[in-house]
Amino acid sequence: MLNGTRIYRIYRRMGWIGLSIVLFTFGRENAYCDDIYFARYQIQSENGMIVKSVLEMIPVSEEFRMEGFQRVRVRGMARGSHEIDAESAAIHDAVSKILVGSGLKSINSRRHMVHSGAGIGSGDVAILNFEGVVRFPVLVQSRKAVMENDLYIVDAEIDFAPIAFPTRWSALYIDHLLKKTAQEIRMFLHSAFLR
C-alpha cells in the first residue's frame, strides 16, 4: 500500500514530465529570426500619365494588420545586368509585382490649379498604393543575365502577406495580443522551470 508522501511524489513527477513535454513542444521561438518588412508600392499619375513609381520597405518587428503569409513564385527583372546590385533591383521588381497583384489597394487623388502664361488650368494627381508584408531572405531559384537586352532576371519564391482590409484590423489586433501574451507566458515558464 502506498502512503500519502509517495503518491504526492508520483503526481509531482508526472506534473514535471507533463510540463516539460509542453514546454519542449511549444518551446521558445528560434533565436534566429527572419526580417519582416512592411512594403508599399506607389504609382503616381498626373492627368492619366504615370510620372513616378516608388517601392518603400520598412522593417517591422510586429505587424498585426496582415493576413497570413503565403509563398509566391514570381519573376523579377532589372535593367543593367552588368551593375553590381542588379540582383537586388530584380528582387525589388518581383516584390513590386506581388504587391500590385495581391496587395491591399488604395487610391488618393486630388485636383490642383496650374497657373501658366497661357492662363489657369487644372490637373489631376492620383496616387495608387499597394501594401503588404514581405519576409526576407528571398529564395532565388534561378538567375540569368541577358546581354543583348541588358537585363538581369531572377525567378524567386517570396513569403508575402497582404495587408487586411481596415474593417478587420481590430479583430487582428486582438488576435495579435492573445498570441503575444501566450508567447510571453510560454517564455516565462520556459525560463522559470528549464534553467
- Give, for all 195 residues of the chain, the pLDDT tens digit: 456 666 667 666 666 665 555 545 444 443 334 688 999 999 998 888 888 999 999 998 878 888 888 999 999 988 875 566 888 888 999 999 999 999 999 998 888 766 666 667 677 889 999 999 999 888 888 888 776 777 888 899 999 999 888 888 888 888 888 888 888 888 887 777 766
Cell numbers that stand for 86 in this block = 542588379
Instruction: Tell me the CA distances in angstroms from 13 to 7, 9, 192, 194, one per residue in order.
Output: 10, 6, 17, 15
Pairing of strands 49-59, 70-79: unpaired
Q: H helices of 30-136, where?
A: 86-102
**pTM (2 decimals)?**
0.67
DSSP three-state, residue 64 = coil
Of the candidates 156, 161, 160, the one whose C-alpha atom is nearest the C-alpha of residue 138 is 156
Q: Phi then psi for 67, rounded to 5 degrees?
A: -80, -175
